[in-house]
Amino acid sequence: MRSGDRKSLARAITIVENELEGASEILLSLETEHLPPVIGVTGPPGAGKSTLINELISHFTEAGERVAVVAVDPTSPFTLGSLLGDRLRMPDHFNNPLVFIRSLATRGALGGLSAKAVEVTDVIRNAGFDRVIIETVGVGQSEVEIAGLADITLLVLVPEAGDDIQALKSGVMEIADVFVVNKSDRPGADTFIRNIGGLLHGNVSHTVDREVIKTAAHNGEGIADVAAAIERYAQHGITPIRKAQLYAMKAWKIISQQRMHNVNREMLLKSIENELKSGKFQLYRFCSGYYQ
């Protein structure tokens, strides 16, 4: 896997994602130093995240860099199925030898990420890539979970995304390191960009000034500016405090998963269906059996 073998990497991801035999050994053997930073791309549906990533991949690979993309697809809460069709939205790259694209299902996890996103991303970072990009589902307020995984978070917005105050209320504004106003050839883009800049002025929650980049990804406009902003943040924005915060959030997620390891969602559904038939179902009594 570390030598760049695609099949070995794909197999390692499958083992870790599905907690098959050998998963713990793979995770415990991972290196932690000199790894590429994780670039998280989030934003509302329709903002053009996949198009932006498509253009960023072109920019990086033209410079000879190896790029890995983790694309998270939503899982149906009813059928537990997922389309995993992100390769269809990146048609220029899925056969590129410099590009590796892996789709993950959320599997019921909230926050626009897969339950195994942390582990899978760390496996990929150990496979010799220069860039690792994660695209979230884009689900609204719970997108803030990307801040616990990505070293650099891009928030992709469009001019008609809503007024700036509403954007601030969503909570996502505070976790973004670089703002990308995509589809900026549409009316109102410059006003929207000024409004975002005004909201960021005087914010002391970040160690470096956050940038607002104007793009029209479908035309390739502004992509070099986004890549340059990513590079600047990677050089100056990932401080020791930021790194400790990232590790703390990742540790919390991993420990939480292990504590929930014996709780199976499908078994929960069957148990609840049986109790509903008996007419004796009471939510809190049912749940108390799992945490007592």
Strand 131-135 relative to strand 99-105: parallel, antiparallel, unpaired? unpaired
**Residue appearing with tokens 């019921």:** 108
Per this entry, what is the length of the chain?
Answer: 292
Name the token pair of 208. Answer: 């470096």
pLDDT by 10s per residue, the chain, length 292: 988 899 999 999 999 998 899 999 999 999 888 899 999 998 888 888 889 999 999 999 999 999 999 988 654 444 444 444 455 556 667 778 899 998 887 655 444 455 688 899 999 999 999 999 998 866 444 456 676 788 899 999 888 765 554 555 556 677 788 999 999 998 888 888 888 887 776 555 555 678 999 999 999 999 999 999 999 988 887 888 878 888 888 888 888 888 887 787 788 899 999 989 988 888 888 888 777 6
Residue 235: what residue type? Q
What is the rounded CA–CA span in Å between residue 244 and residue 151? Answer: 11
Indicate the helix (H) or strand (E) that contains 52.
Answer: helix 49-62
Name the token pair of 29. Answer: 């053997």
Nearest to 118 by CA among 152, 146, 81: 146
Name the token pair of 218. Answer: 């479908």
DSSP state of 158: -
Could you tell me the pTM of the whole model? 0.81
